[in-house]
Structure 1
Amino acid sequence: MNKYKKSKYNVSFEEDNKVIFVNYLTRAIATVDKEKAEMIKEILREPNREWKEEYKKLKDDLIYGGYLVNKYFDELQHLKMLNYISRYDTSSPVFTILSTLQCNFDCVYCYESKEGPSMTQETAQEISDYLCEIATKKRKISIGWFGGEPLVNFDVIKLINRNVIETCDKYHTDFVSSISTNGYLLDEDKAKYFDELDIKNVQITFDGPPQYHNKYRPLKGGKGTFETIYNNTKRLLEMTKETHISLRVNVGVENYDKIPELLEMFDDFPKERIRIYFRWIFQASEDNREFYAKLHEFKGLNSFKKISKFYIEAAKKGFKVFFPILTQNRYCEYDSVSSTVIGPKGEIYPCTVAIAKGAVFGKVTKNGIEYEKEKYLYWHKPDAFEDEECKNCKILPICMGGCRNARLQGSKGCPEEKRDVEHFAKVWYFTKTLENKCKICEVEK
């Protein structure tokens, strides 16, 4: 008879008259009444007793959900395999391309220079040739546009996407494209190309309702940007058939209490094509230290708990909420040998928050990408499965070691969700429950 043990990645909590059991490894979520919860706890304490009748059925359910695992099953090794497959799989390369380092905004918290080169047509053609060659050999290729503000140099986006799409069509290669833009230049003349260019996902940032967004994210010179971006976002959804919007909402001290007001403003948007997530304003520069000091004090020790209420509020309003930490078997897209960040001169960076002088570790050439091997290997060196704290962390299945760039800068790189793993499980449960209720309502209509 098989012997079983309790999974290392179980979390449970009470809500009203129910008990919710979550497993971070399998992503299982189970809701039971308190009587059954006590039975489950008995089984988890002594999984190898000879359970009968209802207890036996509950035990089978626990095995199915991964709350109980075979006594000889090494969960850590299983996680390691999942992570390594994700990190070293080269079948579907992802390219993030910076069409320019220039930006038309003057955000108070920006960590980029806002100035710099834009990609020339000649460089774009060279990169396009390289990507087309890759597309002939892979089953899928993804291109994400970044900056600076990528729409400052829209002609380059059109050139590269068109060429790669043509090659993908010829060789039956799947093609995916996205863009991270501030949205100000996303006017009708550009929006009309998005279906043709297969740009299916657009990330746009809003920092609260107009009075706060305009303060945090003005144009150079100080002019507000909210109204233009809001109208451009609405028009893009009207003009395209399949483009989805990822709304990133940056939260700070001043706009914290006004985030619900922002959600109200998007209430009549097509929610089936919008997903939303919330992040504290990101400190990545030494400028404006007083601003960051106030934010750090305001967030407190459990910053995720404080921001998590917005996920629930958004889900209650029918929005799809998005937890980046739950999307893949690695921390982020740049934690992979298949992910490449290409700068406007064809230079190669490790990730989009490591775009600085000295961070370059390669270049696109006529012979493909030539890497500085020492820098490249150094970037990929950190490994959560060689770190004792990570190996014993309950949230490892959804974190996979945290931010690689932060680790190399001397900090741990842990996500803020780690500070209260039970509360994260609660928020995840609530939002999934609300999302499923909305789906039921849509069917009933």
Structure 2
Amino acid sequence: MYKQSKFNLYFENGGVTFLYNSHTGVFVTLNKEYQDSFEAIRNKNFKNIPDQHIEKLKEAGFIVDENTNEYQIYEYLTNKSKYSNDYLGLTIATTLQCNFRCPYCYEDHMDSYFDEDKEKNLVDFVFKNLEGKRDLSITWYGGEPLLQLDMINRVSKQLIEKCTEEKINYHFNMVSNGYLLTRNVAEHLVNENKIESVQITLDGGPKTHNMTRILRNGKGTFNKIMDNIKEICDIIKVNIRVNVSQDNIKDVHELFPILLENDLNRKVSVYFAPVTSHEGSCQSVTESCLRTEEFSKWETELINYADRLGFDMGKLYPSNLGGSVCTAVSDNTLVIDSNGNLYKCWNEVGKDHLKVGTLSDGITNNERYFNWIGWSFPNKCYDC
């Protein structure tokens, strides 16, 4: 006997019946015959259902064996991902300093850089933790990582040589504000440092962006960043993050006509992220922050707006994450700041009292480390 999956979403729109399973990632339309079969299974009426229908619905994950505990399976996949020993993922803040002064930034911009000793400790730490690994993922971060391009050059060269020698797959990416990312710099990052993609933030159109993504002297940055994106999008994958707050929701709409005018449709990807208030940070912009429910409504509206204009937002429905969760709760990922401190969460970088260890000593704050790693699904998730 079978039952419908707890991960099914069944709905109708425009006279068409849709069925989506958030575990398998399968998304289909149902014709009348399959609708009848699926409805019969939901009502535990298994008479006269074609074997082919049972086979196809089961293959897609829409129905499962009656005794299957799907949450148990997902817990297994999550733990498998969390505790995998095949992969090492590191986010490295080359410096805590930045050429921007965004009012919602959660970091304290200190003059902190990797000196020669800390750089050696970083390479030694990565080499030591690469033993037995098949994959290495590095995200260069900051502050603004390009303020320390020479450091990225030196470290990347050693990591690439090591991975090539040990036959370890490597993937290097970057989070940058984009202001210094000229074509020459991008070509260097791709050819010498094997950077595959870069995330750049645009806070809507020029009006609101130039109030929040500002240089140290308070001047706006939209036009410079837009020019850089146009210059580099053919040689490196550009992911544009749009921070959405109470203050810029309306102006975010202005971004898409500009992207279209600059011939960036299908050349860049765009996604939205809410401005949120983190512990010990963002307090000056708390009133601008959006709750998840508020953000989700605006996100849907913005995606529909972009679609109406003809801007390709890519595949919009959620895909199966295979049990993957936030990197902060995974045993195989760490954030490293330019003081040589180790953290579990990006939002804590540079806050000395929140570190879990150092490059030279390894994990020293076991209580904090295992508090992150010990995360499990909240009880409310089992009723969702």
Contact 2:4 2:41 (8 Å CA) reproduced: no
Amino acid across the alignment from 1:331: V
Query: In 1, distance between residues paired with 2:368 and 2:131?
Result: 28
Alignment counterpart, residue 246 of structure 1, candidates 239, 242, 251:
239
**8 Å CA contact 2:25, 2:319 repeated in 1:** no
1:274 to 2:268 alignment: yes
Question: 1:198, 1:303 → 2: CA distance?
Answer: 35
Which of 221, 246, 257 in structure 1 is aligned with 2:250?
257
In structure 2, the partner of 1:30 is 28
2:384 counterpart of 1:390? no
Structure 1 counterpart of 2:119:
124
Q: Judging changes above 3 Å, is the alpha-carbon distance between structure 1 residues 333 and 230 closer, same or farther for their aligned structure 2 residues?
A: same
Residue 146 (structure 1) aligned with residue 135 (structure 2): no
Who is 1:330 aligned against? 324
- Residue-by-residue CA offset, 1:148-202 (whole Å, 9 max, x unaligned): 1111111111111111001111222111100111111213442231112111010
- The partner residue of 1:198 within 190, 194, 204 is 194
- Report if aligned partners of 2:277, 2:283 keep a CA contact under 8 Å in 1: no
- Report if the CA contact (8 A) 1:17-1:34 is conserved: no
Give 1:171's aligned residue.
166
* Alpha-carbon offset, residue 272 of structure 1: 4.8
1:321-370 deviations in whole A, cap 9, x for unaligned? 578885452332222111011111211011101222310111112xx724
1:9-24 counterparts in 2 under 5 A?
9-24=7-22
Write the letter of the residue equivalent to 1:231: D
Assess if the C-alpha contact under 8 Å between 1:104 and 1:114 holds in 2: no
Q: Give the aligned CA root-mean-square deviation in angstroms.
A: 2.5
Query: Offset at 1:294?
Result: 5.0
Bigger mean CA deviation after superposition, 263-272 or 340-349: 263-272
1:372 paired residue among 354, 365, 379: 365
CA spacing shift, 1:294–1:340, aligned 2, 3 Å: closer
Q: Aligned partners of 2:148 and 2:317: how far apart in 1?
A: 30
State yes or no: 1:66 paired with 2:43. Answer: no
Change (3 A) 1:152 1:290: closer
Shift of 1:390: 2.2
Match of residue 344 from structure 1: 338
Residue in 2 that maps onto 1:51: 48
**How much identity, in percent, do the aligned residues show?**
27
Counterpart contact for 1:260–1:310, Cα < 8 Å: yes
Q: Is the 8 A contact 1:136 1:173 kept in 2?
A: no
**Equivalence map 1:150-165=2 (5 Å):** 150-165=145-160
Cross-structure match for 2:374: 381
CA drift of 1:205 comes to 0.4
Q: CA deviation at 1:303?
A: 3.1
Match of 2:180 in 1: 185
Q: Give the corresponding residue for 1:310.
A: 302
Q: What does residue range 100-115 of structure 1 map to in structure 2 within 5 Å?
A: 100-115=95-110
| Conserved 8 A contact 1:44-1:68 | no
- Please give the TM-score of this superposition, normalised by the length of structure 1: 0.78
Q: Displacement of 1:34 after TM fit?
A: 5.7
In 1: Cα distance, 2:263 partner to 2:306 partner: 13
TM-score, with normalisation over the residues of structure 2? 0.90
- Assess, with a 3 A threshold, how the Cα gap between structure 1 residues 288 and 347 changes in structure 2: closer, same or farther: closer
**Structure 1 residues 209 and 327: CA distance shift in structure 2, 3 A:** farther
Q: State how far apart, in whole Å, the 2-side matches of 1:125 and 1:322 are.
A: 43
Secondary structure of 1:208's counterpart equals coil
Match of 2:214 among 212, 215, 218: 218
**Aligned in 2, Cα 1:51/1:79: closer, same or farther, shift over 3 Å?**
same
Aligned to 2:287: 293
Q: Indicate if the aligned counterparts of 2:198 and 2:237 stay in contact, CA closer than 8 A.
A: yes
Partner of 2:80: 85
After the TM superposition, which of the residue ranges 26-35 and 228-237 deviates more from structure 2?
A: 26-35
Q: 1:25 to 1:44 in 2, by over 3 A?
A: same
Q: Any stretches of 5+ residues in structure 2 without a counterpart? A: none
Change (3 A) 1:353 1:184: same
Are residues 326 and 351 of structure 1, via their aligned partners in 2, closer, same or farther at CA, if it must alter by over 3 Å? farther
Task: State the 1:309 CA deviation.
Answer: 2.2
Kept in 2: contact 1:314–1:321 (CA 8 A): no
Report the Cα offset of residue 115 of structure 1: 2.2
AA in 2 matched with 1:14: E
Shift of 1:127: 0.8
Once structures 1 and 2 are overlaid, which stretch shifts more, 121-130 or 19-28? Answer: 121-130
- Structure number with the bigger relative contact order (C-alpha 8 A, sep ≥ 6) is 2
Segments of 5+ residues of structure 1 without an aligned counterpart are 394-445
Instruction: Kindly state the Cα deviation for residue 284 of structure 1 after the two structures are TM-superposed.
Output: 2.4
Contact 1:183 1:229 in 2 (8 A): yes
* Inter-partner Cα distance in structure 1 for 2:320 and 2:326: 10
> Judging changes above 3 Å, is the alpha-carbon distance between structure 1 residues 308 and 30 closer, same or farther for their aligned structure 2 residues?
same
Query: What letter is aligned with 1:249?
Result: V
Give 1:91 deviation, angstroms.
0.6
1:319 matches 2:321 = no
Verify the 8 A CA contact 2:8 2:22 in the aligned structure 1. yes
Deviations 1:290-326 (A, max 9, x none): 7432554xx6954312222223444552232578885
Please say which of residues 15-24 and 131-140 is displaced more in the overlay.
131-140
Q: CA contact under 8 A between 2:146 and 2:180: conserved in structure 1?
A: yes
Number of equivalent positions:
379
Write the letter of the residue equivalent to 1:216.
T
Aligned counterparts of 2:73 and 2:60: Cα–Cα separation in 1: 16
